[in-house]
Amino acid sequence: MVVTPKVNEQEVIVTGKITNEKGKPLSDVTIVVKGASNKGTTSDSNGKYSIKASENAILVLTCIGYQKQEITVGNRKEINVTLQEEIAELKEVTVNAGYYTVKEKERTGSISKVNAKDIEKQPVQNVLSALQANVPGLDITQQSGAPGGNFQVRIRGQNSIASGNDPLYIIDGVPFSSTSLSPVNDWNFHIFLTGTSPLNAINPADIESVEILKDADATAIYGSRGANGVILITTKKGRTGKTKVDLNFYSGMGNLTRYMDLLNSEQYLEMRNEAFVNAASTPSDFDYDLSGLWDNSRYTDWQKVLLGNTAYSNDIQLSASGGSDLIQFSVGGGYHRETTVFPGNGSDQRISTHLRLTNTSPDTRFKMNASINYSVSFSDLISTDLTVTALTLAPVSPAIYNEDGTLNWEPDASGLGSWTNPLAYLNGEYDSQTNNFLGNIDVSYSLLQNLTLKTSIGYTNTGMNGIMTAPRSMYDPYYAYDNATVFHQNNTQNWIIEPQLNYELHITNQQTLSLLAGATFMDQKSQSAYHTTWGYTNEALMRNIGSAPSIYSSSSFSQYRYQALFGRLNYSIKNRYIFNLTGRRDGSSRFGPGKQFANFGAFGVAWIFSEEPFVKKHLDFLSFGKLRASYGTSGNDQIGDYQYLDTYSTIASNTYEGKSALNPDRLFNADYAWEINKKFEVAVNLGFLKDRIFLQAGYYKNLSSSQLVKYRLAPTTGFNSILSNLPATVQNTGVEIELNTVNFQGKEFQWNTSFNISIPRNKLIDFPNLETNSSYNSTHIIGQPLNIRKLYHFTGVDPQTGLYTFLDVDSSGTYNSTDRTVIKNFGRKFFGGLLNTFQYKGFQLDVMFQFVKQDGYNYFGSGSPGIMIQNQPTSVLNRWRNPGDIADTQKFSTDEGTPWTVYMRMQSSDHCLTDASYIRLKNLSLTYTFSEESVRKLHLQGLSLYLQGQNLLTITNYQGLDPETGKTTLSPLRLITGGIRITL
């Protein structure tokens, strides 16, 4: 019952003090008179408050982290209150489902949530790194340890054979592109060989929560855009109360966690000499390591020189938030800088700012939310990833610098440099600037008591400008290359408008009906320009495109339009039986006439059986129990623009009457249409002992059909293939389990545990004519996962010849695809994480482990041991030397015939396989929060000191640098930081 104070009731001043269960004063507690939103106050730093209220008034006290409390004033003038700490029951958490919010208890779909407090524990540049191992079904792989590097993100596996498999990112209601802005590279080297992550533009400190939508019921309202799952990012908003200012700073150092055991100089020279002896040949003048040109007494550990430096990370954030009952705000800015372990002084820097306003009219009928996020990033890192170079350079290679400090090319008698100096890349420059603007405003108005009209308008603009220089001094002077520069610009703009109508109807006290109807209008424009210039007479002119004697330019433009109508019906009976129906009609410009529109939908149901009387009576230990299931369909249009059209490219070298010739690139395909996804899930949620033990377990089965793949054409068409819909079907199934426990809950000591594991399975279950008329027959097999490899079966080193041998299926003496009998799955067998949180008085310790079960490739040199001037792992020392030897490695040889052929075949055999599973101490965070009494003496509201570590320890049998990134890119760094958090 709502009590409204009468005008003629006499009001008195009520004072008091608010404390927690330990007797410590609580500041920023909101106290309002129930039914009179204009009457309110907050407690001060001593927990004291003062408010005018009548005898019949009810005071409502709320504070984040504590249970809400209501107190009748009566005839008291002093009311002291003790607030009970809120043990967050997972089922009561509200999650963001995009177009609506829902309590964890009542959701019918699969939605996982990660809060700001979980993100803040990790000193990361990209929020994706903080999500690793935190969410079941969310598989994130870091592809480079360099600042700004990319991530591969998959939600419940790979659905498409050839099309995009990235999830949809939504930031404050606005779609955010997942496409990397890294430039195309003419020179085949770049520090980001796997691209850059666009989410680097989003400051993790600005994020309030991240929701991951996985099943059909949760994603259907996003239609085709949500076919691969949805990641919703919500930035921080203001809170009612006096203004609070937060300052956070940390600084730290990073380094490589693992090095490989490579040959030293003595072992290396033994390998090289033995290789020539076994090949019955002698070194040539170009075998500089043996010809006498190089100093064979030298030894350089190139891993330490090129990868062993210290990386530095610095981060500072300043924010303010507060507001009244009607207006709340949050504003802030941050600066982040990271360097890398490569030589040089380059860094990656980001400056970011955010503003969010929330306004509610006095009658609460009008509401407005507006947010702006802007960031600019600068990168001047070394232009190439030196990881492979560090592993392959010979330990007897020359010194990097001459005595006069110039780069040493160690030329031979002809003046030709005898090696590629790795630090020559520092003479080249790679500078880029990325600007990202994201704005959104949504306005809602309550037309009737239960009818609300809402409109959301969003805009994003992401652009990247970069320059990559390759001066003559970057190369061996013998060749006298031209000075060259590449200029590139990329820009993507996106507008989205979404009007919505919401209706809530309470049919009876036990039945509720919610209706949502809306539309989406989206327009995305992408453009790029790319200029390769060369012939500069002076390196000082290389950043001026107008000074280039020669230039080649190319540009591109594409427009993507998307429209949709959507609706949702939610029906609840007794808050026990919940039904959710979603429908959507999508239209995409990426398909031809007659194929642009398609209908999708989903149905979800939940039964909260713990509310049943017989369960309450006989299973009193069960605090919560819910069964839920969902089924639905969606499409996929992640296939690029204009793919169904005839397209042509110009041939600048061929002209006719002064005009450039056109070359056909693609055939028109009128039947080009949507991929279709069908998703099913069944899950159970169980809470025991007042949710101190909370278990969530689910099984899903997704089928993706009408796959857009290349269909082989006859040579007479002039094309090898055409992209077309085939009735090929990919199946993803899996089990996901999440367990949260409150192990101990005392006044001074608490211990909580969170564990999750995902067991995914992927399989190609249908592909017509795969073996007879498809370019995919060499990489795919019906009944097997999409990420398999067909390999030769390794049968050992021949004791007589000393060469690798393999299974020859038909004993023909030749090897072809039929001899690739080993089918190996390189996907994840299972993955997950384990988090333990310990709290004792002011201390909090968080320990997060990540685990992955998978297979991978061992590291082997790119050439047969001894054939090139190239170092090798020490494992090659167990090689064949004499007839009768039993060895793991074939004989060293410089013979480019059979020894080379079988070595290359070995790299496509199961001899290369290794267990690339790992357990990683992903994060360790130790925080000390000063007591309120100590903080008050410093005239602060809060003060914390913390130490954080990232990637501290990796336990693995993988024979390479790191099992996550593999052997060609920089591994994730071990990062240790220390910081301070101050609240004013």
Structure tokens at 810: 């038909």
Number of C-alpha atoms within 13 angstroms, CB side, residue 612?
Answer: 13
Q: What is the mean pLDDT of residues 586-598?
A: 90
In residues, how long is the chain?
Answer: 984
Contact between residue 601 and residue 582 where contact means Cβ atoms under 8 Å apart: yes
3-class DSSP state of 275: helix
Between CA 352 and CA 332 the distance in angstroms is 8
Would you state the pLDDT for residue 7?
44
Q: What is the pLDDT of residues 908-927, one digit of tens each?
A: 999 989 999 999 999 999 99
Give the lowest-confidence range in 75-79, 443-447, 718-722: 718-722
Has residue 660 got a pLDDT over 80?
no
3-state DSSP percent of the chain in helix, strand and coil, to 5: 10, 50, 40
Closest CA to 153 of 127, 171, 173: 127
Instruction: State residue 44's pLDDT score.
Output: 82
d(CA 477, CA 428) in angstroms, rounded, equals 15
- Give the pLDDT mean for 100-110: 87
Segments making up each domain of the chain, as ranges: 11-86, 108-243+254-261+303-313+335-381+428-637+648-787+826-860+907-983, 265-298+788-825+861-906
pLDDT score of 129 more than 60: yes
pLDDT value at position 798?
96
Are 590 and 637 in contact by the 8 Å Cβ rule? The answer is yes
Residue type, 35: G
Q: Which pLDDT does position 100 carry in this prediction?
A: 80
Options 2.60.40.1120, 1.10.1040.10, 2.30.30.40, 3.20.20.450; CATH of 11-86: 2.60.40.1120
Q: At 4, is the pLDDT very low, low, confident or very high (cuts 50, 70, 90)?
A: very low
**DSSP label at residue 829:** S
Q: Mean per-residue pLDDT for 3-20? A: 73
Query: What CATH number labels 108-243+254-261+303-313+335-381+428-637+648-787+826-860+907-983?
Result: 2.40.170.20
Task: Name the β-bridge partners of 523.
Answer: 495, 561
Report the C-alpha gap between 692 and 741 in whole angstroms.
Answer: 5
Beta-carbon-side half-sphere exposure of residue 889 (alpha carbons within 13 Å): 20
Q: Report which secondary-structure segment, H or E, holds 915.
A: strand 913-915
pLDDT band with cut points at 50, 70 and 90 for residue 983: very high
Residue 189: is its pLDDT beyond 60?
Answer: no
Question: pLDDT (tens digit, 9 = 90+) per residue, 750-761?
Answer: 999 999 999 999
Closest to 125 (Cα-Cα) out of 201, 45, 230: 201
Residue 183 pLDDT: 56
Please name the amino acid found at residue 542.
M
Given a cut of 90, whether residue 363 has pLDDT beyond it is no
- Output phi, psi for 934, to 5 deg: -70, -40
Per residue, the 3-state secondary structure of 691-713, as one string, reads CCEEEEEEEEEEEEECEEEEEEC
Separation CA 86–CA 20 (nearest Å): 11
Q: Are 198 and 186 in contact (CB under 8 A)?
A: no
> Above pLDDT 70, what percent of the chain?
96
Quick one: pLDDT at residue 41?
Answer: 85
How many C-beta neighbours within 10 Å does residue 640 have? 12
Residue 87 pLDDT level (bands cut at 50, 70, 90): low
C-alpha distances (whole Å) from 33 to each of 74, 295, 359, 506, 607 are 13, 86, 21, 27, 37
Residues linked to residue 751 through DSSP beta bridges, in sequence order: 744, 838
Given a cut of 70, whether residue 93 has pLDDT beyond it is no
Domains 11-86 and 108-243+254-261+303-313+335-381+428-637+648-787+826-860+907-983 share a fold: no
State the chain's mean pLDDT as an integer: 90
Position 5 confidence tier, pLDDT thresholds 50, 70, 90: very low
At residue 655, does pLDDT exceed 80? Answer: no
- Lowest-confidence pick of 61-75, 144-158, 498-512: 61-75
| CA proximity to 166, closest of 244, 233, 240, 229 | 229
Gap between the Cα atoms of 775 and 773, Å rounded:
7
List the beta bridge partners of residue 757. Answer: 737, 832
DSSP string covering 643-663: TTS-EEEEEEEEEETTEEEEE
pLDDT in tens, 878-910: 999 999 999 999 999 999 999 999 999 999 999
Q: What is the pTM of this model?
A: 0.89
Q: How far is CA 423 from CA 251, 304, 384, 859, 959, in A?
A: 28, 14, 10, 24, 27
- The Cα 170–Cα 100 span in angstroms is 14
Confidence tier at 3 by pLDDT (50, 70, 90): very low
Read off the amino acid at residue 616: K
Q: Is the pLDDT of residue 828 over 50?
A: yes
3-class SS of residue 779: coil
Amino acid at 959: Q
Separation of alpha carbons 189 and 195, rounded Å = 12
Q: Which pLDDT does position 66 carry in this prediction?
A: 81
Q: How far apart are CA 631 and CA 936, in angstroms?
A: 55
pLDDT reported for residue 351: 97
pLDDT in tens, 626-650: 999 999 999 888 888 888 888 877 7
Question: How many C-beta neighbours within 10 Å does residue 185 have?
Answer: 17
Q: For 142-168, what is the mean pLDDT?
A: 90
Q: Lowest-confidence range among 258-267, 532-541, 644-653?
A: 644-653
